[in-house]
Amino acid sequence: MENQVQELAVTPLHKLHLELGAKMVPFAGYSMPVQYPTGVLKEHNHTRTQAGLFDVSHMGQVRLSGPDAAAALETLVPVDIVDLKPNFQRYAMFTNEQGGILDDLMVSNGGDHLFVVVNAACKQQDVAHLRKHIGHRCTVEELSDRALLALQGPAAAAVMARLTPETAKMIFMDTGKVTLVGAECFISRSGYTGEDGFEISVPADKAEELARLLLAQPEVAPIGLGARDSLRLEAGLCLYGHDMDTATTPVEASLGWALSKPRRADGARPGGYLGADAVLRHLAEGVKSKRVGLLVKDRMPVREGAELVDAQGRVVGKVTSGGFGPTLNAPVAMGYVETDLAKIGTALNAIVRGKPVAVEVAKTPFVPQRYFRG
């Protein structure tokens, strides 16, 4: 039988990535830049000190419209959507009947619609999930004609204010419409690096023009997936399919902070979403294991899949994300451990190539988050 090679999709910035000398890799069905000629370390540090431009056009963008959209979406997420104010966004997750996480997402109130951004690897199943469960209550529209760019770092605000002065008034998790390169763009002050920054939804046919305009600013450099991963790991942010999945509930994934008060057992609209019984039980009774940060006491990076053991060598958990943290100048990781070992400062070992490497349960984020809260 012939090998069926799956054709990789490309983003509207594909030609620009090649022009910039990017090393392209397959990611979530797309050909994506993992790094540019300067390399991951310099890209990481540039984002922490100036401003990095990320192509995140592989992510899914969905519009939900109709008067019932917010109430309908609440049947799929453990988060308050009904009271989400216009021009504001919230972190959420789709849960399944067991309370496991199907995907994590951002939801913003665009006034007459909700704008939802979902992960690239999950977008087809997410759109199908929305259509199946709430398609009869609101219009579910995948915006496949739009690109998504993220400008991240301490200089991002100055760059955006130069191009669209009204963005200076926005604070973390604010959203709005702005005109850039003659196109209506939907912008949020948020991101996936722990830094201040913006995500910009732009019509696909204007994406390259906007990227070139941003890259023409002296503070801005292009950044690939490699640095995106090291930045989000230092910021203690989950990667779907690694640090959480259908086998973990939001409570196990240490995402209890995202479970809105109105949707909790004593709230105004308790439960009412898929898997609510399991999630509310976990909130009330606790969980057997949970996600923690891990500082590695060695120069040896500890990677995803490494087993975690206690002093007696008993397996007590597993690493789900790991790598070198350039800002910390040390390896860092996240993983799941038995809850009674999840206390900050607990000493454990990670098994790397058959040898124990000392790790310590640590507070996340590993690097202070610098979101602009006004």
pLDDT for the residue numbered 1: 45
Whether the predicted pLDDT of 271 surpasses 60: yes
Residues in contact with 118: Cβ distance below 8 Å, sequence separation at least 6, in sequence order: 59, 60, 62, 103, 105, 126, 127
Whether the predicted pLDDT of 207 surpasses 60: yes
Rounded Cα–Cα distance for residues 358 and 258 (Å) = 31
Domain range 288-365, CATH class: mainly beta
Tell me the average pLDDT of the chain.
97
Q: Quick one: which H or E segment has residue 200?
A: strand 197-203
Rounded Cα–Cα distance for residues 125 and 48 (Å) = 34
pLDDT for the residue numbered 186: 98
Rounded Cα–Cα distance for residues 104 and 274 (Å) = 14
Mean pLDDT of 49-57: 98
pLDDT in tens, 147-161: 999 999 999 999 999
pLDDT in tens, 111-124: 999 999 999 999 99
What is the domain partition of the chain in residue ranges? Answer: 14-54+145-234, 288-365
Whether the predicted pLDDT of 316 surpasses 70: yes
Whether the predicted pLDDT of 3 surpasses 60: no
Which homologous superfamily does the CATH classification assign to the domain defined by 14-54+145-234?
Probable tRNA modification gtpase trme; domain 1 (3.30.1360.120)
At 263 the three-state DSSP class reads helix
pLDDT in tens, 256-268: 999 999 999 999 9
Rounded Cα–Cα distance for residues 349 and 318 (Å) = 10
Q: How confident is the model at residue 33 (pLDDT cuts 50, 70, 90)?
A: very high
pLDDT in tens, 209-218: 999 999 999 9
Q: How confident is the model at residue 40 (pLDDT cuts 50, 70, 90)?
A: very high
pLDDT for the residue numbered 5: 57
Tokens read off for 67: 């008067």
Q: Tokens 């830049």, residue?
A: 33
Cβ pair 93, 276 in contact under 8 A: no
Model pTM score = 0.96
| Among the listed residues 62, 60, 58, the one whose alpha carbon sits nearest the alpha carbon of residue 28 | 58
Sheet with 220-222, edge to edge strand ranges: 175-180, 183-188, 197-203, 146-152, 51-55, 220-222
